[in-house]
Structure 1
Amino acid sequence: MFSAVLEPLRLALYRGDADPPPPRRLTVRVPRWLGLLPFRRIDLVQAGDLALAALFFVTTASERAGLRGGGALGQFLPYVAAFAFSLPLALRGRHPLVAWRIAAGLIPLTIWMRERPSDDTLPYTAPAIICYLLVTYAVAVRCDRRITVAVWALTALATWLFHPDSVAIALTMVTIAVLFGYNVRVRRNATARLLAEERRTQEAEGAQAVLEERARIARELHDVVAHHMSVIAIQAEAVPLRAAGDPAQLEAGLAEIRGLSLEAIAQLRQVLGVLRDQEGRTDTAPQPGLDRIDELVANARATGLSVLVKRPESVDGLPPAVGLSAYRIIQESLSNAMRHAPGATVMLDIGRDDTGLRLHVTNGPGSSPAGEPGAGQGLVGMRERAALLGGTLAAGPVPVGGFQVTATLPIDERGAG
């Protein structure tokens, strides 16, 4: 128990240290005409401490009245008092406990150096009071509670030894400074815990973003399945009609259906490889891009659509994300046309400039009855793909009949290489 009482005193006097300084809150930018300074922002609190320290040093060092001794000693004592009131203020921002130790050692010395005033006069000067209260406040803000209590107790003891009659008023002022500083410390710690909680929340949101990304992959799976199954279903209906009993055409149509099925299985494996990987590793197989548009168009034409394509001479150099999203948007648009407007004419217009890629997919009314309506996830997936890249997508019926999809996908040239 005795060591538990002495430990806070040891911490306050020579063993303890303060917490690291908090981030600067009250700062101003250095004007341009002071651009040669080694710093770009000024901490207003620290600047105020330095200004007050300079003021106390100048005023105290020039004061000669009321000091003990004369001659060389009388010339030296004012500078001791000047350092006692200014040095702790200059240090309290970075090293508050060191500043208090200097103040606790030098300020009583300055009180002794002054000739004893009358009984109804406090022995403390205004610089001494201001300096000690500011340093004690800094200790309460930046130091452990045990150190703060020890500082308060040592202050009470020193006040009682030097001037018992001033104990009440001195401790009242010091207690107010300590309580105010401790309240600031508690609030800062609560703010730090809140920030830590926010960081944990952000990490949880990051995990949620991973889940959402996997949901996007699931929609990718929907796109693959919906497109290929639509093509396969329509091909299965069209092949017997085209073959008209011709074994060669029937065999060719079945081979085409088989090819589409194998392609669908390959893409399903590619997507499912991501879903199965618990560590987030992705398949290294390349994702489709605009270089495979001809395959989509050929599949769509095989189902009876009349697809007219207008595109630039080259689509090389697109960022992979833009190429994949463009491919999936066109794929979904053609699948919708197959499902809802069989036999329609489809206009596919691909445009590109320095800022972005533009897609226009317009189909007229179908020449055959439409199939069953889908689940509506295709349009949602297309919009999300465009939004993910910072682009836009609009889809809706056209006045003359049919449907139109218009998408704009920005191109980041830094990622285009």
Structure 2
Amino acid sequence: MARGALQGLRRDLITDAFAFHPMAPLRDGHPLLGLVPRRFRGYARWLPHAALTGFTVLLMLTAAESYSGLGGVLAALLAGVPLLTTMFRPIGAWWLSFGATVVTGVLFSDGWSSTGPWTDTGFFSHLVVMGVVAARTRPRVAAEMWLLTALLGLAFSSWGGWYGADPFIMVFLSGVVLFVVAAVRGLRDSRKEVAAQVAVTEVERTRRTLLEERTTIARELHDVVAHHMSVIAIQAEAAPYRVENPPEELTQSFAIIRENAVIALTELRRVLGVVRAEDYQAPDAPQPTLADLDRLIANVREAGLQVEKTVTGAVRELPQGVELSAYRIIQEGLSNTLRHAPGAAARVEISYVLGGIGLRVLNGPPRGLLKPSPGAGHGITGMRERVTMLGGEMTDGTTDDGGYEVAVFIPVPGERA
């Protein structure tokens, strides 16, 4: 315990004792600034500095009058310099005041009254220095200053008792001052912590409300979309039986519609169904990967989109999150081509490179009638969010021939380019 106390004292009062820590002006919104007219508030922010400087000047003049000649000048400097230094180097200022006490205890012993080794002006100077330093540092520093000050006074009283030194007044008053300063500062810090906690609580409450609203929307979305997708699947399955001798192309088209509706319904339940209840069991179907890309391309080809796929590099298995995101990005790119570029051809390029995977979805200009899209334009945003989540990069924009291009690079952890 003694070793730890000495190490703490060394860190607090010795290490970087004269480090530069200027006293900050009053913050905006301080109660004192509210008492000052608005046009003078810029100057009023420096009120603590002005008050401390004025007190220092008054104390130095008093010290100079108490002694004649060089003694008065020295007494004024020993009382004033530590006070001014508290505004820039608080710990160093206390050491200056501590040293000034030793000097005055030796040189001005005849000027003591009942203030121990301090002169009358040095007594008030040291008391104010301790209070200012305690207000600008941690409470432990205040305790250490008080203890060393008491030991210094007791040392002079024991070894120089014939001077009539009595440190009790300083020890008692400095203890009261330091206790009050520490209490006020503790109360102020507690209020700041409470205010910060209230702000954090408000943010959390807002976030929780937002999540609850999103959960409600997700439940409603699941109910509405799942219902309509189920209707589409059922109608697509029953439609060929309502026509006598339907063409094979029509039967195949309805089969494709039903298959895609069932796939979409399964994925919708996997993504949104979990919010319906805590014991909801998601479907056991695996998440799609790049290995399922040929089936996706076959589906969009049957929908009338000409798609060309190119794969370069050594094909290898990637992390599940990368595989899923790559699949979804290509899926969204082809869906955008179907919606926004009817009649255009598309090309999908997949590049397996060291350090990650590159994707490129490119389509030409629309060849058919371009109808207004009812979508909200979230496709590109969703792509970008996936890429950003994985630490990748994405560019998109129109091409010179009027088409559209999406280029993505997704890094793979553990691989070096």
TM class by shorter-chain length?
0.5 to 0.7
Letter in 1 for 2:381: V
Does 1:401 find its partner at 2:412?
Answer: no
Deviations 1:34-59 (A, max 9, x none): xxxx99xx83447569x98xx99xx9
| 1:264 Cα deviation after fit | 1.6
Does 1:189 find its partner at 2:190?
Answer: yes
Letter in 2 for 1:379: I
8 Å Cα contact 1:291/1:315 also seen in 2? no
| 1:281 Cα deviation after fit | 8.9
Residue of structure 2 in register with 1:9 after alignment: none
Residue of structure 2 in register with 1:43 after alignment: 11
| 1:323 Cα deviation after fit | 2.0
8 Å Cα contact 1:217/1:271 also seen in 2? no
| 1:320 Cα deviation after fit | 2.4
8 Å Cα contact 1:289/1:324 also seen in 2? yes
8 Å Cα contact 2:361/2:407 also seen in 1? yes
Q: Distance in 1 between matches of 2:218 and 2:320?
A: 16
Letter in 2 for 1:43: R
Unmatched 5+ stretches in structure 1? 1-20, 22-37, 67-91, 133-154, 156-170
Relative to structure 1, the CA distance from residue 348 to residue 287 in structure 2 (aligned partners, 3 Å threshold; closer, same or farther) is: same
User: What RMSD over aligned residues (CA atoms) do the two structures have, in Å?
Assistant: 5.1
| 1:302 Cα deviation after fit | 0.4
1:240-279 → structure 2 map (5 Å cutoff) = 247-277=247-277
Relative to structure 1, the CA distance from residue 256 to residue 363 in structure 2 (aligned partners, 3 Å threshold; closer, same or farther) is: same
Q: Report the 3-state secondary structure (helix = DSSP H, G, I; strand = E; otherwise coil) of the residue aligned with 2:386.
A: helix
Relative to structure 1, the CA distance from residue 116 to residue 344 in structure 2 (aligned partners, 3 Å threshold; closer, same or farther) is: same
| 1:400 Cα deviation after fit | 0.9
Unmatched 5+ stretches in structure 2? 18-90, 110-137
1:366-405 → structure 2 map (5 Å cutoff) = 366-375=366-375, 376-405=377-406
TM-score, with structure 2 as normaliser: 0.52
8 Å Cα contact 2:150/2:167 also seen in 1? no
Deviations 1:161-197 (A, max 9, x none): xxxxxxxxxx4x5544333333332233234334544
Out of 100, 106, 123, the position equivalent to 2:166 is 123
8 Å Cα contact 2:270/2:283 also seen in 1? yes
| 1:305 Cα deviation after fit | 1.1
Relative to structure 1, the CA distance from residue 350 to residue 207 in structure 2 (aligned partners, 3 Å threshold; closer, same or farther) is: farther
Letter in 1 for 2:262: L
| 1:299 Cα deviation after fit | 0.9
Residue of structure 1 in register with 2:295 after alignment: 295
Q: Report the 3-state secondary structure (helix = DSSP H, G, I; strand = E; otherwise coil) of the residue aligned with 1:413.
A: coil
TM-score, with structure 1 as normaliser: 0.52
Q: Report the 3-state secondary structure (helix = DSSP H, G, I; strand = E; otherwise coil) of the residue aligned with 2:248.
A: helix
Q: Distance in 1 between matches of 2:331 and 2:299?
A: 10
Q: Distance in 2 between matches of 1:280 and 1:96?
A: 59
Letter in 1 for 2:405: Q
Q: Distance in 2 between matches of 1:283 and 1:96?
A: 65
Q: Distance in 1 between matches of 2:256 and 2:153?
A: 97
Q: Distance in 2 between matches of 1:106 and 1:256?
A: 94
8 Å Cα contact 1:274/1:283 also seen in 2? no
8 Å Cα contact 1:116/1:123 also seen in 2? no
